[in-house]
Chain A
Amino acid sequence: MNARISHSASGSLLQALSVQCRVIGALILRELHTRYGRENVGYLWLFAEPMLLATVIGLMHKGAGHTAYGADIKPLPFAVIGYTTYILFRGIVNRSEGSFEGNASLLYHRMVTVLDVTMARCLLEFAACFLTMAVMMGFLVATGLADPPARPLVVLAAWGLMFWYSTGQALLITAISYENRTVGRLVHPYSYFMAGLSGAFFQMEWLPHPFRDWLGWLPITSIFEMVRYGQFQSAKLQYCYTEYLIGACLLLTWIGMVALTNMRNRIHLS
C-alpha cells in the first residue's frame, strides 16, 4: 500500500482509483478460482458453458430449415448473436442475486467495498460472454455460415449498453436480495422470461401492431435491435429507441447505486 500522503484532492482520488482497480482485479481472479477451480482447464468452462448452449440453439434453428429472414439475415447467425448477447444479460443478472454469501468475509478489509464485489462479478461475466460471442461468430464467419459484422462499432456499442443495462440491474438486485430473499427467488424467473420477451430471437418488425409498441417500452429490446443492426447489413434501427435506452440505464444505475449505499450501512458481519 502506498502510504504517501497527498495534499491535493485529485492526487488522492487517483491513488484511491488505482487501489480500487487493483482490488477489483484481485476480486476477479478470486472469483475465477472459486468458480472454476484451480486446474488450468477450469478456465475453459468460462466460455465452454455458454458456447455449448449457443451451439445447441443455433443447431435447432439450423435444423428447423429456415431460409433467410431478409436480404442477408441468416437464421444461424441471427440465433447465435441473439443468444450470446442474451447470455450476457442473464449471467450478470443471475449472478448478482445473493452475490454476498461467498464474499461477505472479504468486507472485513477496509479496501473492499460492496460495489467492488459486484463490479468484479459483472466484469468477469462480460469478459466471458464477449469471448464466447467473438469465438462463435468468428467460427461462423470462418466457415462461411455467417457474414462478418456489417457495422462492428455498432455491435460493440450495443454490447457496452447491454453491460451497462445489466450492471445497473445487478446493483439493484444485489442490494435488494441481501435483505429480501423472496425477491432473490424471483430473479431467475425474471431472466428466463426475458429470454422470450427481450427480442433475442425475434425482430421487432415481425410483431403485430399493439405488442410491438408494448415491447418497445422494454429497454432491452432496443439493445437487441442495435446488435442486429451492427451484425446484419439489411437490419433496420427503426424500433431501436437509443435515447430511451440510455435514459433507462442512467436511472437504473442511479437507483442501484443509491440502494447499494443504503444497504451497505445495514450490513452486519456476524
Chain B
Amino acid sequence: MNVHGIMLPASEQSERRRANPWTETFAWLRRRRMFMLIVVLPTLLVGSYFYLVASDQYESEAHFLVRSTHTAEAPAGIGMSQALSMVTGASSSQSEAMSVADYLTSHDAVATLRRDNDLVGRYHDRDADVFSRLRPSNPTPEYLLRYFQGVVKVNYNSETGITTLRVHSFRPQDSFAIARRLLELGELRVNMLNERSYHDAIDMSRRQLAKAETDLAAVQAQTTRFRQTRGDIDPKASGEAQIQLVSTLTGQLAAARAQLNAMGGMVNHGSPQYQALASRVSALQAQVAAQSGRLTNGNHAIATDISGYESLKLREQFLAKQYESAATALDRARETALRQQLYVVRIVDANLPVKALYPERGRIMLTMVLALLLTYSIGWLIVAGVREHAA
C-alpha cells in the first residue's frame, strides 16, 4: 500500500523540463497548494494584520474587594464531601461582590460612562485600526455595550473574593481614566445600595416610633383636659386626702361623743358646757356625712374621677413602654444597618500603562500556526485514508 500525498497529474510529470525559475516555483507551489491554502495563507493574512495593521492596546488594571463589616469570614471553596451531598449557593458576601462586577459591565454603567467620560470618543478613534476600533460614531447602546464588554473585563475570583478589573484601550490615558472612573462608579453604586438598605431597615422602626409618640401625646392631652374639666390635679391624691380628712373628723366625732356621754352623767343637760359640746358633736356629724358623700356619691364624687383617671394613667404607662421599646428597636435597627454597610476596598489602584502589552501578537500567531499545522496534518491523514478506498 503506498500512500501519496497530493498526487500529481500524470500529464505534468511527462512535461519536458524547462529551467525557468518562475515555472519551477509555480509548479512547486501547485504541488503544495493545499498546504499553502490551509496553513501558509491564513498565517500570512493574520500575521500581516497583527504585525502591520493592528494598533497597540494599553491595559490598565485595578483590584478591589467588596466587604461588609459584619462578615469577617472569607468566602471559602466547598469541600468534596459537601459537593456530593450539600446544597451550594453563593454566600451573601459573594453575591455582593458579584453585584458590583455585574454592574460594571452593564448598560447602566456604559450609559454613565458615555455621558460623563466620552466613552464613544475614546474608542471611536481615527488612529486605531478598523477592526478593533468602535466603528460607528454614534453607536446604539446595545452595540456599544457589546463592544464595551470586549474591552473591559471584570473577573470575580471566588477563592480570594477579589474582583479584577481590566480595561483595554488605544491610549494609556484612556485606559487609566476609564478604569479609575469604573472604580468610582462601583463605589457610588455600593453607597447607593447602602443608603437604600439602610433606609429600608430603619423606616419601619421610625414609623413605629412616631406612632408611639403621637399616641402618648394624645393620652397626655386627654389627661390634661380631664384635670381641667374636673378641677382636680390628681384625683387619687385628693381622694387620699379626703379619706384622711373623714377619718380625722370621725375620730374627733367619736372623741366628742365620748366626752358628751361622760359629761352627760355628771352635769345637767341644760348647762351651757353640755350645750356647746352637743352642738359640736352635731356639727362634726354633719361634716363627716358631707365629706364622706364627696368621696362616693354624686356626679362630682372623687370615686368616679379616680376610675377615669386610673384608666388614663394605665394607658399612658402602656404607651410609654411601647415608645421605649420602639426607641430601642430603632437604635438596634440603625446599628445592624450600619454593620451591614458594604465597602469597596481598593487593593490595587488603576495604573497608567506605559508599554502596550496587547494584542499578544506572538502568542496568537504561535497558537494559530500550531493549530493550522495540526489541522493540515489531520486532513492529510484523512485524505490519505480515503484514497485507499479508490478503485
Chain A interfacial positions (CB closer than 8 Å to B): 1-3, 7, 9, 12-13, 15-17, 19-20, 23, 64, 66-70, 110-111, 113, 115, 201-203, 205-209, 211-212, 247, 250-251, 253-254, 257-258, 261
Output the least CB separation between A224 and chain B (Å).
Answer: 14
B83, B374, B391 — most chain A CB neighbours (10 Å): B391
Q: Is the CB of A70 within 8 A of B388?
A: no
How would residues 220 to 233 of chain B score, 1 for a CB under 8 Å from any chain A CB and 0 otherwise?
A: 00000000000000
Whether the pair B9, A68 counts as a contact (CB closer than 8 A) is no
- CB–CB A20/B9 < 8 A: no
- Sample (5) of A-B pairs whose CB atoms are under 8 Å apart: A12-B387, A13-B390, A19-B389, A205-B158, A250-B375
Question: Hey, what's the 0/1 contact readout for B366-391 against A, CB within 8 Å counting as 1?
Answer: 01000100110110011111111111
Q: Does more than half of chain A's interface fall in helix, strand or loop, or is it mixed?
A: helix
Cβ of B188 to closest chain A Cβ, rounded Å: 27
Interface string of B70-85 (1 = CB under 8 A from A): 0000001111101111
Given contacts A206-B78, A208-B77, A209-B77, contact A16 B87 (CB under 8 A): no
Q: How far is the CB of B104 from chain A (nearest CB, A)?
A: 17
- Given A9-B6, A208-B77, A212-B77: A68 and B371 within 8 A (CB)? no
> B88: which of A1, A111, A206, A251 is its contact (CB, 8 Å)?
A206
Q: Does B159 have its Cβ within 8 Å of any Cβ on chain A?
A: yes
* Chain A, Cβ-Cβ closest to B390: A16
In the complex the two chains form, what is the Cα distance from A240 to B341 in whole Å?
A: 35
A12–B89 Cα gap in the complex (Å)? 59
Q: How far is the CA of A13 from the CA of B390 in the complex (A)?
A: 7
Cβ–Cβ contact B77 & A254, under 8 A: no
A109 CA / B389 CA spacing, docked (Å) = 10
B7 within 8 A of A: yes
Question: Is A13 a contact partner of B383 (Cβ separation < 8 A)?
Answer: yes
Please pick, from B374, B383, B385, B388, the residue contacting A250 in the complex, using a CB distance under 8 A. B374
Chain A residue, CB-CB nearest to B3 = A261
In angstroms, Cα B386 to Cα A20, docked, is: 7
Top 5 nearest A-B pairs (CB, nearest first) are A206-B83, A208-B77, A16-B390, A19-B389, A257-B381
Partner of B390, one of A15, A202, A207, A211: A15
Pairwise interchain contact B88-A205, C-beta atoms closer than 8 A: yes
CA distance in complex: A205, B79 (Å): 10
- Asked, given contacts A3-B391, A23-B389, whether A257 binds B6 with beta carbons under 8 Å apart, the answer is no
In the complex, A64→B379 CA distance in Å? 48
Indicate which residue in A1, A201, A207 contacts B77 across the interface (CB closer than 8 Å): A207
Q: Is the CB–CB distance between B383 and A257 below 8 Å?
A: no
In the bound complex, how far is the Cα of B77 from the Cα of A252, in angstroms?
Answer: 32
Those of B229-244 within 8 Å (CB) of chain A = none
Q: Is the Cβ of A250 less than 8 Å from the Cβ of B382?
A: no
Closest to B84 in A: A202
